[in-house]
Chain A
Amino acid sequence: MLVALPITARAQSPPSVVWRASAGYDQFAFRDVAKSRPPVDASPVRWRGRGPIVTFEYERVRPLRLLQVEVSASTAGDFQYETGVGVAARPRGDSASFVEGHYDYRRYLARPIVVRGLSAGVGVRGIGERRLLRHHFDDHIELTETNVASSIAAVASLRFRRIDRVAIDAEWTNGATLARGRQRHVDAVINGVSEIASWGGGWLTDVAARAELGVARHAAVLVSYLRRGEGRLFDLRAYTAERRRVMVGVTYAP
């Protein structure tokens, strides 16, 4: 007989440890911004690419508390310009890569809300990330944008633990970002290199959901979705970006 999902099974016996590994598809879309004050004036053209992502999570769960550490790495290619009425392929060298880690601390209400099995929580998340964006113009001009960023965010979360073997979680995250941005422009024809670097600020909003289904005494399979909107403002330049990822993976609770 299959037992309940590990998280559910151990909800009353703190603390339990959960490991997750997942992989999937990540989509990145970028628009440079000419005016960053609301209403934000972003480019009418979207630079969009897609590629694989892998994520590992470690979680310590008590009945009303959660600590989580997650690291992920992704890369995007196959970029194109989207104008709303058409798309145009970009050079093969256009790419984006990301390495991200975050730490979560969360508390849940003791009593269910609205329906039995549904509980609400709030928490704080610290995020560290490094990203590298490569634009190519005419094959001989390369523009690279490197950002090293840290964010602090508030997380509102809902978790549903009513059905045996099934766990559903949803999160809404809003945060502020401090980043160091470096933009490097290289023209291979005239052998010209220019580089600017500055500190910048930004924001992020995540909407995420995850469903897990227990398949063995210590294991479950999971499906997750995340949509992120974000903005970054540096000296003399700014951009807004969107990420969407769909992943499948496994959960292991020793």
Chain B
Amino acid sequence: MRRDASAGFHSTLLVIAFAISPACHTFLGPSAVDDNWRVHEGPRVTFFVRPGSVGEQNASRLSEVIEDQYSATVAALRLSYAGHVRAFVHDSAADADLPSNFSGRAYPETESFRFVCVAPVTGSTFALMSHEANHVFIINGLGRAGTFLMTEGLATAALSEKYHFAGRHFLFPWTWSHRSQLPALSRLIDDAEWLKVPEDIAYDASASFLAWLLDTYGSDSLRRIYAAASSELADRIASVYSRPLESLEADWLRFCESWVG
């Protein structure tokens, strides 16, 4: 009788353990695909907006800006990519489960990106949207970059300034005014170090340097260093540009000092 009770107890424990054991998918899996969207078709980018949101009210304007950005990025980097991209516009950081109202994320393999769009819609909104879209255009056009510097920097370095001035008009003066806070480029090319630098400085310094590199030496040279990993980027730069990284860095800072827009 006692043995039966013990067996029953263990059996019950086992069943309970099965029922409440943490499954990996519960904690590590993604949320379901959302279906609360209204669709605004564009020539190369389709927008998915929340019904009645700021994004829906500004869908035509957003479409105009992103079509210009698409053309600008393809031209600047000589990409052959011409895929159709899907943009998901959230009406708050909470809706997007993102850290702030100035946040976005890109998903190149599924040709999509999402970002938060709140009133007032300004150049900052356009720059955020364009940065995320550029990840899709660039990664699908060139493959994965080898470093964070290239991944995040080039997405901003390729910004078109037709509808805002958050590209070169911001980056080059910002570089000179923040020169005392900038980490050496030898740190920024190292992914482990890049993550230790304050986020805004890492993003903007990377973008500023790559924008200067792109304008000064063209896209062919940039493409040759694009996929280099942290461990080989300094040597690749020296080989492609026939100058060491420190020499390029000095020229870039001098350029930012004298840049007048």
User: Which of A's residues lie within 8 Å of B, judged by CB?
Assistant: 30-35, 38-47, 81-86, 88, 109-114, 120, 122, 135, 137-138, 140-141, 143, 156, 158, 172, 174-175, 183-185, 187, 189-190, 192, 194-196, 203-205, 229, 231, 236-237, 239-240
Enumerate chain A residues within 8 angstroms of B227, measured Cβ to Cβ.
Answer: 194, 196
Per a CB cutoff under 8 Å, which of A32, A85, A236 touches B35? Answer: A85
> Is the pair A114, B107 in contact by a Cβ cutoff of 8 Å?
no
B residues 77-101 near A (Cβ < 8 Å) are: 78, 80-84, 86, 88, 97
B residues 1-39 near A (Cβ < 8 Å) are: 7-8, 10-12, 14-15, 17-18, 21-31, 33-37, 39
A172 to B112, CA, bound (A): 33
* A33 and chain B: residue at smallest CB distance: B30
Per a CB cutoff under 8 Å, which of B18, B28, B34, B106 touches A203? Answer: B28
A-B contact pairs, 21 of them (CB 8 A): A30-B109, A31-B30, A43-B109, A43-B110, A44-B33, A45-B33, A45-B86, A45-B110, A46-B33, A46-B110, A47-B110, A84-B34, A84-B37, A109-B11, A112-B11, A120-B18, A187-B142, A190-B78, A196-B144, A236-B144, A240-B29
Residue of B36, B106, B141, B145 ringed by the most chain A CB atoms within 10 A: B141
Enumerate chain A residues within 8 angstroms of B107, measured Cβ to Cβ.
Answer: 31-34, 42-45
> Is the pair A194, B143 in contact by a Cβ cutoff of 8 Å?
yes
A85 to B46, CA, bound (A): 12
**B41: min CB distance to chain A, Å:** 11
> Is the pair B30, A40 in contact by a Cβ cutoff of 8 Å?
yes
A140 to B112, CA, bound (A): 19
* B227 and chain A: residue at smallest CB distance: A194
> Is the pair A135, B109 in contact by a Cβ cutoff of 8 Å?
yes
Knowing A111-B7, A183-B144 touch, does A81 contact B110 (C-beta < 8 A)? Answer: yes
> Is the pair A45, B11 in contact by a Cβ cutoff of 8 Å?
no
> Is the pair A44, B34 in contact by a Cβ cutoff of 8 Å?
yes
A62 to B11, CA, bound (A): 20
Enumerate chain B residues within 8 angstroms of A120, measured Cβ to Cβ.
Answer: 11, 14-15, 18
Per a CB cutoff under 8 Å, which of A44, A46, A88, A205 touches B29? Answer: A205
> Is the pair B31, A138 in contact by a Cβ cutoff of 8 Å?
no
Enumerate chain A residues within 8 angstroms of B82, measured Cβ to Cβ.
Answer: 138
